[in-house]
């Protein structure tokens, strides 16, 4: 049975508190912060990274990492640009881009699961490879002629509201990821693999297949992010999203997902995404340059880990005290 | 994930000699590559040079070879520092930000007071770099933050500091004294100083890793942290030292970066960490710690630099450059894993026959 205060000590609760604090402080220092227009624009700006974070969360929970997501975004954007430029209908162009993302993820997954290579190294290689392919596909051109409906999706809000269309797409994808991760057997297998791969294998989980699946999901979601990015900026360039991978990883880790896998929730990651977005937005309204905002993000990332370490210490001590008579009841 | 096998026991192949000459001969090359990882990379490098030289003799002219070494010197220095950290089963992602920050601060200091002696600037750069390494080391050893998370955080923080200090300014070649620029462009005994710096770092690090007790202990920590702790290796102190040394080498690299490129702003060396980790990994340093050498990391850097140079000299489409580099990284680790696996199997067979 859980005690009330231990719920309050959960990382997600702290993230909510930090988010509220950012909103309170933000609205008092920057007048423009708490306006519908600003929040709408700021959240639209988050969407590519948010969509990539969904897939990366799954991968990191399973104890692996995918550094190639931003390059897949660039490749997907380049493919959409090149195919539309060549006269391919938009829906087919998007389909090709998503397929390329899935294949990119499949390649990562096969190298990691079938050859047993470390994912950090594999996806560092494919980070360069996929970005390189983006340049091969599009050269140094930029394509900015797209059908009206496509750019409307990127620029406009849902009629009558301030909700950007990409946010709706993100909500659907996030809900689907949530259901898979927290309400299905696949999610339980992901956590099992992340906690102890060996044990997961012995308990009959097809670890290799799950891992390949996760990388395919990560690649596909990154490709979706590439399509959204292209629509929002009405621009397909091979260097789109350059360097985004570190931002996305930061968000996932800040969300309380352990870099060693097996621990963390999607809710935490989504909260962390909004926290980073709100923080950056407030700082930007105060004329702090993006690179200097990064000091805050970096500090938050490090402090979050030290804080969770400390929290876990407190929780474990409390748990030990509570269940001292019957050690078998200890939460794991 | 695949961990490299522990060291191949040297005594075992003796049994194999008696068992059959054929097996020995087939296994000899594999064994060499297995025990001397660097042999494989050197072989790949030699093949590459040969193939390109046949197509374009200009490639192997001394001028061009010197150009290749110049282009990878700074990368090699940082790769050696990264190797120290990676050996202990950690990683330093903040190296690019460290190099960039030091490069700007050094160049900017000289712009403000051109009279400062170059030796003092070098010292300053190394100390700043080491100071940044101290931050990483403390976060990892005292704060118990996983290295990849801690240094991802400091990657942002150091870069942010760089931007805060730079305030959008840029230092140009005309702003700094020639004595500083000649740190990278000068020659001693006909050899470019930049290459000498890198060579000195590689030689000293190789010696320390091979011969010094603490050097060997870095390997012990990486191959089995628990066992290292049990036999009394001061893991915390050594991991801390590895981060500080890596930071100091980044500092040196930063000073040289400013001298080589002359034009420095707060964006210098952005993304450099990826090239460094790539060089280390291609050079056969196990990303999970415990095995690899400074020479290997340097060869990795040279291999990547040679590929870049070869592509430009063969006038291949520059758009292919990054894709090919990525493919090379993957090919290198795949080959390494396959060789390791075969070695493991051969070892197991040899052991079974003995019993």
CATH number at residue A96: 1.10.3470
Residues of A in contact with B160 (CB under 8 A): 291-295, 298
Q: Are residues B164 and A118, on separate chains, in Cβ contact within 8 Å?
A: no
* Structure tokens given for A182: 């927290």
- Residue A2 inside a domain? The answer is no
The model's pLDDT over A104-139, given as tens digits with 9 standing for 90+, comes to: 999 999 999 998 889 988 998 999 899 999 999 998
Q: How far is A304 from chain B (nearest CA, A)?
A: 10
pLDDT higher than 80, residue B343: no
Of B245 and B318, more confident: B245
pLDDT higher than 60, residue A326: no
Residues of B in contact with A301 (CB under 8 A): 149, 152-153, 156
| Nearest one of A145, A21, A15 to A83, comparing CA atoms | A145
pLDDT higher than 80, residue B277: yes
Average pLDDT rounded to a whole number, residues A316-330:
66
**pLDDT score at B271:** 82
Which class is B61-316 in CATH? Answer: mainly alpha
The model's pLDDT over B148-203, given as tens digits with 9 standing for 90+, comes to: 889 989 999 999 999 999 888 888 888 888 888 888 888 888 888 899 999 999 99
| Nearest one of B328, B310, B271, B254 to B77, comparing CA atoms | B254
pLDDT higher than 90, residue B130: yes
**pLDDT score at B97:** 94
- Residue A324 inside a domain? The answer is no
* Structure tokens given for B27: 């296994």
Q: Is the distance from CB of A191 to CB of A57 less than 8 angstroms?
A: no
Domain residues for the domain of A235 are 8-24+35-309
Average pLDDT rounded to a whole number, residues B301-319:
86
- Residue A283 inside a domain? The answer is yes
User: Residue A77: exposed, middle, or buried by beta-carbon count in 10 A (0-12, 13-18, 19+)?
Assistant: buried
Of A273 and B39, more confident: A273
The model's pLDDT over A191-207, given as tens digits with 9 standing for 90+, comes to: 999 999 999 999 999 99
Residues of B in contact with A128 (CB under 8 A): 274, 278, 322-323, 325-326, 329
* Distance separating alpha carbons of residues A183 and A181, to the nearest angstrom: 6
- Residue A325 inside a domain? The answer is no
Its ipTM equals 0.83
Question: In this structure, what is the dihedral angle of CA atoms B209, B214, B216, B220, given to the nearest 10 degrees?
Answer: -130
Q: Are residues A125 and B329, on separate chains, in Cβ contact within 8 Å?
A: yes
A260, A291, A300, best to mutate vs chain B, most B CBs in 10 Å:
A291
Q: DSSP code of A236? A: B
The model's pLDDT over B86-96, given as tens digits with 9 standing for 90+, comes to: 999 999 999 99
Report the residue of chain A nearest B160, measured CA to CA: A292
Q: Is the distance from CB of B285 to CB of B293 less than 8 angstroms?
A: yes
Report the residue of chain A nearest B141, measured CA to CA: A306
The model's pLDDT over A39-67, given as tens digits with 9 standing for 90+, comes to: 888 888 899 999 999 999 999 999 999 99
Q: Are residues A301 and B152, on separate chains, in Cβ contact within 8 Å?
A: yes
Q: Is the distance from CB of A77 to CB of A230 less than 8 angstroms?
A: yes
- Residue A228 inside a domain? The answer is yes
pLDDT higher than 90, residue A11: no
- Residue A14 inside a domain? The answer is yes
Q: Are residues B281 and A121, on separate chains, in Cβ contact within 8 Å?
A: yes
Residues of B in contact with A302 (CB under 8 A): 139, 143, 145, 149-150, 153-154
The model's pLDDT over B7-33, given as tens digits with 9 standing for 90+, comes to: 444 433 434 444 444 455 556 665 666
Give A248's pLDDT tier (boundaries 50, 70, 90): very high
The model's pLDDT over A16-42, given as tens digits with 9 standing for 90+, comes to: 999 999 999 988 988 888 888 888 888
* Distance separating alpha carbons of residues B242 and B245, to the nearest angstrom: 5
The structure's pTM equals 0.85
Q: How many domains does chain A have?
A: 1
pLDDT higher than 80, residue B340: no
- Residue A147 inside a domain? The answer is yes
Average pLDDT rounded to a whole number, residues A87-108:
96
Residues of A in contact with B277 (CB under 8 A): 124
Residue in A118, A132, A259 nearest the CB of B323:
A132
**pLDDT score at A270:** 95
Give A325's pLDDT tier (boundaries 50, 70, 90): low
Q: Are residues B319 and A129, on separate chains, in Cβ contact within 8 Å?
A: no
E strands in chain A? none
The model's pLDDT over A204-244, given as tens digits with 9 standing for 90+, comes to: 999 999 999 999 999 999 999 999 999 999 999 998 988 88
pLDDT higher than 80, residue A294: yes
| Nearest one of B247, B239, B248, B243 to B220, comparing CA atoms | B239
Q: How far is B142 from chain A (nearest CA, A)?
A: 10
**pLDDT score at B26:** 53
* Distance separating alpha carbons of residues A20 and A279, to the nearest angstrom: 11
Residue in B278, B323, B329 nearest the CB of A133:
B323
* Distance separating alpha carbons of residues B283 and B82, to the nearest angstrom: 12
**pLDDT score at B20:** 46
User: Is residue B188 classed as helix, strand or coil in its secondary structure?
Assistant: strand
Which residue in this structure is represented by tokens 């095995």? B291
**pLDDT score at B6:** 42
Report the residue of chain B nearest A132, measured CA to CA: B323
To the nearest whole percent, how much of chain A has pLDDT over 90? 56
Q: How far is B269 from chain A (nearest CA, A)?
A: 13
E strands in chain B? 187-188, 191-192
Q: Are residues B333 and A119, on separate chains, in Cβ contact within 8 Å?
A: no
Give B232's pLDDT tier (boundaries 50, 70, 90): confident
Average pLDDT rounded to a whole number, residues B105-132:
91
Q: Are residues A295 and B161, on separate chains, in Cβ contact within 8 Å?
A: yes
Residue in B1, B266, B317 nearest the CB of A291:
B266
Of B69 and B345, more confident: B69
Give A9's pLDDT tier (boundaries 50, 70, 90): low
Residues of B in contact with A249 (CB under 8 A): 152
User: Is residue B146 classed as helix, strand or coil in its secondary structure?
Assistant: coil
pLDDT higher than 90, residue B246: yes
Q: Are residues B154 and A298, on separate chains, in Cβ contact within 8 Å?
A: yes
* Distance separating alpha carbons of residues A196 and A180, to the nearest angstrom: 20
pLDDT higher than 50, residue B3: no
Q: Are residues A295 and B156, on separate chains, in Cβ contact within 8 Å?
A: yes
Q: Which alpha helices (DSSP H) does A114-241 contain, by range?
A: 119-138, 148-155, 165-183, 185-195, 197-202, 207-233
Report the residue of chain A nearest B168, measured CA to CA: A289
Q: How far is B76 from chain A (nearest CA, A)?
A: 18
Q: Are residues A295 and B148, on separate chains, in Cβ contact within 8 Å?
A: no
**pLDDT score at B4:** 41
Residues of B in contact with A299 (CB under 8 A): 153, 157
């Amino acid at each position: 049975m859980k005690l009330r205060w231990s719920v309050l000590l959960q990382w997600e609760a702290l993230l909510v508190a930090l988010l509220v604090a950012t909103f309170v402080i933000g609205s008092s220092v920057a007048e423009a912060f708490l306006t519908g227009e600003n929040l709408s624009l700021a959240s639209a700006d988050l969407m590519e990274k948010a969509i990539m974070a969904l897939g990366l969360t799954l991968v990191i929970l399973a104890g692996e990492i995918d550094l190639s997501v931003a390059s897949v975004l660039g490749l997907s954007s380049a493919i959409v640009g090149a195919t539309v430029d060549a006269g391919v209908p938009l829906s087919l162009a998007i389909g090709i881009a998503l397929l390329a993302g899935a294949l990119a993820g499949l390649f990562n997954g096969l190298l990691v699961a079938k050859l047993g290579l470390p994912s950090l190294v594999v996806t560092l290689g494919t980070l360069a490879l996929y970005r390189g392919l983006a340049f091969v596909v599009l050269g140094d051109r930029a394509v900015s002629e797209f059908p009206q409906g496509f750019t409307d999706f990127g620029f406009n809000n849902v009629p009558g509201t301030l909700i950007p269309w990409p946010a709706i797409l993100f909500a659907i994808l996030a809900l689907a990821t949530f259901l898979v991760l927290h309400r299905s057997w696949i999610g339980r297998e992901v956590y099992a693999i992340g906690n102890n791969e060996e044990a997961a294998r012995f308990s009959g989980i097809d670890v290799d297949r799950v891992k390949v699946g996760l990388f395919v999901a990560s690649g596909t979601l990154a490709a979706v992010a590439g399509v959204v990015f292209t629509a929002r900026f009405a621009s397909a360039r091979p260097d789109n999203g350059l360097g985004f991978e570190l931002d996305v990883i930061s968000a996932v880790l800040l969300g309380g997902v352990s870099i060693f896998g097996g621990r963390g929730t999607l809710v935490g990651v989504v909260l962390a995404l909004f926290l980073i977005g709100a923080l950056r937005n407030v700082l930007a309204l105060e004329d702090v340059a993006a690179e200097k905002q990064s000091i805050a993000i970096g500090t938050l990332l490090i402090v979050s880990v030290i804080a969770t370490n400390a929290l876990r210490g407190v929780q474990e001590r409390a748990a030990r005290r509570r269940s001292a008579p019957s050690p078998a009841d200890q939460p794991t | 994930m695949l961990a490299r096998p522990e060291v191949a026991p040297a005594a075992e192949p003796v049994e194999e000699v008696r068992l059959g000459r054929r097996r020995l001969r087939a296994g000899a090359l594999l064994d060499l590559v297995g025990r001397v990882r660097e042999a494989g990379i050197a072989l790949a490098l030699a093949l590459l040079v040969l193939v390109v030289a046949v197509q374009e003799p200009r490639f192997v002219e001394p001028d061009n070879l010197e150009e290749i070494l110049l282009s990878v010197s700074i990368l090699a220095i940082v790769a050696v520092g990264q190797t120290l950290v990676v050996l202990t089963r950690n990683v330093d992602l903040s190296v690019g930000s460290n190099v960039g920050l030091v490069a700007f601060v050094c160049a900017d200091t000289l712009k403000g007071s051109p009279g400062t002696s170059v030796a003092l600037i070098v010292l300053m750069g190394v100390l700043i770099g080491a100071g940044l390494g101290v931050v990483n080391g403390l976060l990892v050893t005292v704060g118990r933050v996983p290295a990849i998370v801690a240094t991802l955080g400091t990657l942002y923080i150091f870069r942010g500091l760089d931007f805060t200090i730079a305030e959008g300014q840029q230092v140009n070649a005309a702003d700094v004294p020639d004595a500083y620029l000649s740190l990278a462009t000068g020659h001693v005994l006909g050899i470019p100083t930049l290459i000498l710096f890198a060579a000195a770092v590689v030689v000293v690090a190789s010696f320390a890793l091979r011969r010094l007790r603490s050097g060997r202990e870095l390997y012990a920590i990486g191959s089995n942290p628990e066992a290292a702790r049990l036999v009394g290796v001061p893991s915390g102190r050594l991991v801390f030292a590895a981060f500080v040394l890596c930071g100091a080498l980044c500092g040196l690299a930063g000073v040289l970066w400013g001298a080589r490129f002359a034009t420095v702003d707060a964006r210098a060396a952005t993304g450099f960490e990826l090239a460094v980790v790539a060089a280390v990994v291609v050079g056969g340093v196990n990303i999970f710690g415990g095995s690899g050498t400074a020479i290997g990391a340097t060869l990795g850097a040279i291999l990547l630099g040679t590929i870049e140079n070869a592509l430009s000299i063969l006038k291949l489409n520059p758009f292919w450059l990054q894709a090919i580099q990525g493919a090379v990284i993957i090919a290198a680790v795949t080959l390494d894993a396959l060789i390791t696996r075969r070695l493991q199997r051969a070892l197991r067979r040899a052991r079974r026959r003995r019993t």
